Amino acid sequence: MNASNIIASARGLSKTFGQTEVLRGIDFDIPAGRIYGLVGQNGAGKTTTLNALLGLTDSEGQIEILGQNPFQNRAKLMNDVAFVADVASLPRFLKVQELLDLMTDLHPSFSKDKAVEFLAGTEVKPGAKIKHLSKGMLAQLHLAVVMAIDAKLLVLDEPTLGLDIIYRKRFYRRLLEDYMTEDRTVLITTHQVDEIEFLLSDIMFLNDGKIILDTPVDEISGRYTQVSVGKDLLEQAQNLNPIYSETRFDHTVMVFDNVPAENLEPLGQTSTPSLSDLFVALMQGKTTTDGEV
């Protein structure tokens, strides 16, 4: 990987709070022009990883954003890095116009003109109080704020939390179609991973402070296979060492890692697992349940 193309990197990134080791020496590289999904259960280390990237907390190991230590150079990096939390974090006591003025003061790469231009095609009015906006209007305002920031790295932490599925999908599609360029990188944390699977170029799974998967999404189909196996072929399938199995009524769904397709196709219907199914498989390992996910 070309080092000059790396937006964010970590080597041996660790963080301890009291006696609790939240991050356990993780390594990663995030290149320019990619959309990364960071997925993990509560307590897995997602927020701590984001805080380290944004220079909001110190840590052990090495971490760099655009070749600089974010904890030591946070003010300088603000020109090229932006962090937008979930829609619920918008200050409800402000008017829309006041929020845009505040963003102009807070972020050097925020363009009020771009935000106003985007909102011109919506029902969101400059004089409206944010607390009076509908969920759809909140989504439009949130997206306008995001898209008006000309940042090389945009970090979105559960950006559509609390929004209906229609508005969540609209948010992500506009982000993909109208914001992304080869020079911009987006890092998203979310619990609705299946909803953003269509826009992700890369996925990173965190579990108990460790990275258990870091891969381009388009390489998953070449590595992982999900098979629906009937009872008569169950023993044969088990001999191929699935990484996960789950009993569903009269068949068992298994996930295999790096097993040739010609070995799996005789066992039953094969498919590529969704990101959420793959996450469950890697988190839970070889288990068998009765219809539970």
DSSP annotation string for 79-113: TTEEEE--GGGS-TTSBHHHHHHHHHHH-TTB-HH
Total count of residues recorded for the chain? 293
Within a domain: 258: yes
Domain boundary among 197, 219, 241: 219
Within a domain: 292: no
Stretch (H or E) spanning 48: helix 46-53
Same-domain status, 52 and 141: yes
pLDDT tens digit string along 67-76?
999 989 988 8
Domain boundary among 219, 236, 259: 219
Domain of 47 in residue numbering reads as 3-219
The domain total for the chain is 2
* pTM, full prediction: 0.87
pLDDT for the residue numbered 288: 40
Any idea what DSSP says for residue 286? S
Within a domain: 207: yes
Rg (CA), the chain: 21
Within a domain: 255: yes
CA atoms within 13 A on the CB side of 146: 32
Within a domain: 192: yes
Which of 83, 207, 189 has the alpha carbon at shortest distance from 146?
A: 83
Split at pLDDT 50, 70, 90, the class of 291 is very low
Within a domain: 196: yes
Of all residues in the chain, the percent with pLDDT exceeding 90 is 62
pLDDT tens digit string along 215-271?
999 999 999 999 999 999 999 999 999 999 998 888 899 999 999 999 999 999 999
Same-domain status, 264 and 215: no
pLDDT tens digit string along 8-45?
999 999 999 988 999 999 999 999 999 999 998 888 89
Within a domain: 291: no
Residues 6+ apart with CB under 8 A from 156: 84, 85, 146, 186, 187, 188, 189
pLDDT at residue 290 tops 80: no
Domain boundary among 169, 190, 219: 219
Same-domain status, 157 and 259: no
Within a domain: 238: yes
